[in-house]
Chains A and B, each alone.
Chain A
Amino acid sequence: MLKLVHLSKSFGNKQVLRDISFSAESGEITGLIGKNGAGKTTIFHSILNFVKSDGSIVFEDDQITDKTYKSIGYLPEERSLMPKLTVFQQVRFLASLKGMAAKVTRKELLKWMDKLEVKGKIDDKIKSLSKGNQQKIQLICTLIHQPMLIILDEPFSGLDPVNTDLLKEVILAEKKRGATIIFSDHDMTNVEELCDKLVMISTGQVVLDGEIQALRLSFGSTRIFVQTEMTQEKLQNLAHVTAVEKTKFGTYRLDIEDEKYGKEIFNEVTGGHYVKTFDQQPPTLNEIFKMKAGK
C-alpha cells in the first residue's frame, strides 16, 4: 500500500501541493485525475523522490528510499526513448538499473514484445519503430522488472483503440499480480473502466477521494434519460426539472433538483403509458470532473 500523508510543496512563492493525503491499495488501481497544472506530476515526482516535499510518503510501511527504486515502475507523461539505441540496448540499460541481468532481460523482453504485439525485433533501432511500438517498448521498460508500485502518467495518449485495449489488459494483469497502480488520464472513460478508486486534485488539493461508483452516487441520481413523445418544452415545464437537453440518440436528458423527485417525474412523463426509455443515473465521471476540477 502507498500512503501519502499531509504532502505540501512550494516552488518559491507558488504553492503547488496543499496538504495532500490519500492512499492506494495493493492489487488496486487508483486514478489520480485533475486539470493540467493541478499538481499530479508534482505528486508523482514527490513519490519518486525527484522533488522533496513536506509530509510523508510510505510504501509497504517504509519510506521511499534508493532501495525502494527497484520495486517502482514509472511511465512518464511524454514518450521518448534513446533513438540511436536498439530495443534491447534500451531495455537492458533501464532493466540493469533495476538489478536485472542481461540474460534475463533478453528472455523477458521477448515475452513482453510478444504479449504486446510489438512489430519489430530486439535488435532494431528505436528510431525505426512506429510511435505506437515505441510507446509499447517504454511500457515494457516500466514493467519488465515486475515492480510492486506502478505509476502510469497518461499511458494511452496517442494509442489507437486496439492498442489501448491491449494496454488495458496488461494493466489489469499487473493489478491481478498484486501491484499497487497509480494511473493518470484525461479520458474519464478509461479511468472509470480501469480504476477501483479515484483521487481528484484541483489547485494542489484533494477535492475527491473514494471508490468510483460510490463517488458518483454521492452526487445523487439527478440525471434522467427519457425517450418520450412529450415535447422538450413540456418536459422543461415539469416541476423540479432544472434543465432539458436532447441527446443525439433521440432521448432527452433531464437534470432534476434531487434524486427523490425521480418517481414523481416518472409518473408525469409516462402517465401510466409505455415509454421506451426511462433511466435515472448519477452524473458521469466526466461531469463530476468538470464540476469539481473545472473550477
Chain B
Amino acid sequence: MKQILLVLMETYRRQVKSWSFILLVISPFIFIFISFGFGYLSSTFGESSSDQIAIVSTNKKIAKQLRYDKDEITLKYHSQKSARNALTKEKIKGYLVVNQNDSQLVARYVGKEKLSTTQKSNFQQILQANQQSLNVQKAQLTQGQLKALARQSILEQQVSKKGVSDETIKTISFTITIFLMYFILITYTTTVAQDIASEKGTKIMEMVFSSMPAQRYFYGKILGTFAVIATHLLIYLIGGGAMYLILPKLETSKKMFAEYNTMIGKVVSNLLSINLIYVLLGVIIFTILAALCGALVVRPEDTSKAVQPVIYVVLVGFVGSLVFGQNANNVIVKVASFIPFISSFFMPMRLIYSNVSLIQVGSSLLILLTATFGLAMYVGRLYSGLILQTDDVGIINSFKRASKIK
C-alpha cells in the first residue's frame, strides 16, 4: 500500500507541477477575465462611440427627457449641422431633431440604420406624453375633465416565482455534465497514454519493477492520474464557489444573479448528485483503457494512434447522449445506461430527465464498478508484460505477447 501511495504521489507531483497542467487549469479563468475585461473596457470607453444617438432640440426640457439612457443618448450637439457632421465622421449612430410648430411636436430621425424597436418605442412614449400635455393646454379643460382623461386601463401580471422552467434547468445540468465528461476525457486520456508510452521507452521501468510489482505500480499510476483530475475539478469547484459568493456583490452581476439564483442552486444540486459518481467512475475506467493503449506502443509518437479507440468510445457516449438529448425514455438510451464506459454519459442523462428506479441505478453502478475493477486488475496483471516489451510488433501482437509473458 505504501508503494502504491509513493507512485501516486510521484505521478501527482510530476503532473501537477507541469506547465501544461497549470495552463490547462487556469485557461478558463483567463478566458472569463478577458471576457469581463473586454466588457468593462467597452462600457467604460464606449461613451463617445458611434453607437450614440444625438438629440437636437431647442426645447431643452424635452431634450433632457429624451435622454432616457445616458450611455446611449447624447445632448452634445446643439445644431443639425454639428450633428450631421458627427454622423458623417461616424461619431454618432444618428440624430433626432425635435421641433415644435405651434402645438405640434415633430421629430425626425436621421441615421445610417433604423432605430431599434426599444429606442423607437421609448422616444414615441416621451414625445407622446409631451404632445398630450400640449394638447391639454390647448383644449383648456377643467380639473374634472383632466382627471377623467387621465384615467388609464389596468394591466396586471402574475409571474411564477420559479423564474426558469424545470426543463431549462434539466437541459443546463445535462449539458454541463456531458461537456464536463467530454472535456476531462479528451484531455486526460491522451495525457495518461502519452505518460505511460514515454515511460515504457525507458529502462528505468525495469528498475522500478525490481522494487515493486508492476501491478501495484499501475494502480499507483492510475490513482495518481485520478488525483490530478480530482485536483483539476476541485480547483474549478472552488473557483465556482468563489464566483457564487462574489457575483451577487458585484454591481454588474447582482441583478442577473438574483434572477437566476434558484436555477443555479438546482443545477448545482443536479451536478453534485449521483451523477458525480458516474462522472468519476467514467473518468477512472477511461483512464485505465487509455493507460492500456499507451502501454501497447513502442514509440511515444505512436500514442495518438493507439489512443484512437478510446476517443471513439468517448465520442459514442458524447455524441450519442447529445443526439438523444431529452429523449431519456428511448430504449437505446436505457440499454446504453447499463453498458460500462458509455453508461457514464447515458445514465446521468436519464437521471436528469426522467425517473430511474433505485434498482436500475444500483445495477448500472454495480456493472460499472465491476467493469472498472475488473479492467484495472486485468491490465495490472498484463502491465509488466506490456511495459517490458520493446519490439515493434504492432498493437495486437504486443497485446498477445504481453498476455503470454506471465
A residues near B (Cβ < 8 Å) are 11-12, 45, 48-52, 66, 69-70, 72-82, 84, 93-94, 96-98, 138, 141-142, 151
Asked whether, in the complex, the Cβ of B404 is within 8 Å of the Cβ of A11, the reply is yes
Q: Kindly specify which of B205-213, B258-266, B277-285 makes contact with the partner chain.
A: B205-213
Q: Report the bound CA distance from A77 to B14 in whole Å.
A: 26
Q: Report the bound CA distance from A75 to B206 in whole Å.
A: 8
State how many angstroms separate the Cβ of A101 from the closest Cβ of chain B: 12
B404: which A residues are within 8 A, CB to CB? 11-12
A79: which B residues are within 8 A, CB to CB? 203
- 6 A-B pairs closest in CB distance: A97-B211, A74-B210, A80-B202, A76-B206, A76-B203, A78-B203
The answer to whether B388 has its CB under 8 Å from any CB of chain A is yes
State how many angstroms separate the Cβ of A137 from the closest Cβ of chain B: 11
Asked whether, in the complex, the Cβ of B3 is within 8 Å of the Cβ of A50, the reply is no
A142: which B residues are within 8 A, CB to CB? 207
Give which listed residue, B207, B212, B406, contacts A52 with CB less than 8 A: B406
Q: Report the bound CA distance from A291 to B376 in whole Å.
A: 49
The answer to whether B177 has its CB under 8 Å from any CB of chain A is no
Give which listed residue, B10, B14, B209, B401, contacts A50 with CB less than 8 A: B209
Asked whether, in the complex, the Cβ of A48 is within 8 Å of the Cβ of B210, the reply is yes
B residues near A (Cβ < 8 Å) are 3, 6, 10, 14, 201-204, 206-214, 384-385, 388, 401, 404-406
| 11 residue pairs from A and B, CB less than 8 Å apart | A11-B405, A48-B209, A50-B405, A72-B211, A74-B206, A77-B203, A79-B203, A84-B14, A93-B6, A94-B211, A97-B208
Q: Report the bound CA distance from A98 to B3 in whole Å.
A: 9
Asked whether, in the complex, the Cβ of B210 is within 8 Å of the Cβ of A51, the reply is no
B405: which A residues are within 8 A, CB to CB? 11, 50-52
A66: which B residues are within 8 A, CB to CB? 212-213
Asked whether, in the complex, the Cβ of A96 is within 8 Å of the Cβ of B212, the reply is no
Q: Report the bound CA distance from A261 to B202 in whole Å.
A: 54
Asked whether, in the complex, the Cβ of A94 is within 8 Å of the Cβ of B209, the reply is no
State how many angstroms separate the Cβ of B398 from the closest Cβ of chain A: 13
Q: Can you name the residue of chain B whose Cβ is closest to the Cβ of A79?
A: B203
State how many angstroms separate the Cβ of A180 from the closest Cβ of chain B: 15
Asked whether, in the complex, the Cβ of A141 is within 8 Å of the Cβ of B212, the reply is no
Asked whether, in the complex, the Cβ of A97 is within 8 Å of the Cβ of B206, the reply is no
| Interface residue SS majority, chain B | helix
Give which listed residue, A72, A77, A84, contacts B210 with CB less than 8 A: A72
State how many angstroms separate the Cβ of B402 from the closest Cβ of chain A: 11
B211: which A residues are within 8 A, CB to CB? 69-70, 72, 94, 97-98
State how many angstroms separate the Cβ of B209 from the closest Cβ of chain A: 6
B204: which A residues are within 8 A, CB to CB? 80-82
State how many angstroms separate the Cβ of B189 from the closest Cβ of chain A: 22
B213: which A residues are within 8 A, CB to CB? 49, 66
Q: Report the bound CA distance from A76 to B79 in whole Å.
A: 90
State how many angstroms separate the Cβ of A191 from the closest Cβ of chain B: 22
Q: Report the bound CA distance from A84 to B19 in whole Å.
A: 13
Asked whether, in the complex, the Cβ of B212 is within 8 Å of the Cβ of A69, the reply is yes
A82: which B residues are within 8 A, CB to CB? 202, 204
Q: Report the bound CA distance from A80 to B406 in whole Å.
A: 25
A97: which B residues are within 8 A, CB to CB? 3, 6, 208, 211-212
Asked whether, in the complex, the Cβ of B203 is within 8 Å of the Cβ of A80, the reply is yes
A72: which B residues are within 8 A, CB to CB? 210-211
A73: which B residues are within 8 A, CB to CB? 210
Q: Report the bound CA distance from A98 to B201 in whole Å.
A: 23
Asked whether, in the complex, the Cβ of A74 is within 8 Å of the Cβ of B6, the reply is no
B384: which A residues are within 8 A, CB to CB? 50-51
A51: which B residues are within 8 A, CB to CB? 384-385, 405-406
Asked whether, in the complex, the Cβ of A94 is within 8 Å of the Cβ of B212, the reply is no
B206: which A residues are within 8 A, CB to CB? 48, 50, 74, 76
Asked whether, in the complex, the Cβ of A93 is within 8 Å of the Cβ of B212, the reply is no
Q: Report the bound CA distance from A50 to B205 in whole Å.
A: 11
Q: Can you name the residue of chain B whose Cβ is closest to the Cβ of A85?
A: B14
User: Which of B10, B204, B214, B406: most chain A CB closer than 10 A?
Assistant: B204
If the complex has contacts A50-B388, A69-B212, A93-B10, are A76 and B207 also in contact, measured as CB distance less than 8 A? yes
Asked whether, in the complex, the Cβ of B6 is within 8 Å of the Cβ of A96, the reply is yes
User: Which of A11, A12, A93: most chain B CB closer than 10 A?
Assistant: A93
State how many angstroms separate the Cβ of B299 from the closest Cβ of chain A: 14
Asked whether, in the complex, the Cβ of B388 is within 8 Å of the Cβ of A74, the reply is no
Q: Report the bound CA distance from A93 to B5 in whole Å.
A: 12
If the complex has contacts A76-B203, A78-B203, are A94 and B406 also in contact, measured as CB distance less than 8 A? no
Q: Can you name the residue of chain B whose Cβ is closest to the Cβ of A82?
A: B204
Q: Report the bound CA distance from A146 to B104 in whole Å.
A: 106
State how many angstroms separate the Cβ of A85 from the closest Cβ of chain B: 8
B6: which A residues are within 8 A, CB to CB? 93, 96-97
Q: Can you name the residue of chain B whose Cβ is closest to the Cβ of A149?
A: B210
Q: Can you name the residue of chain A whose Cβ is closest to the Cβ of B17?
A: A84
Q: Can you name the residue of chain A whose Cβ is closest to the Cβ of B384?
A: A50
Q: Report the bound CA distance from A96 to B208 in whole Å.
A: 11
State how many angstroms separate the Cβ of A84 from the closest Cβ of chain B: 8
B3: which A residues are within 8 A, CB to CB? 97
B203: which A residues are within 8 A, CB to CB? 76-80
Q: Can you name the residue of chain A whose Cβ is closest to the Cβ of B390?
A: A78
Asked whether, in the complex, the Cβ of A45 is within 8 Å of the Cβ of B207, the reply is no
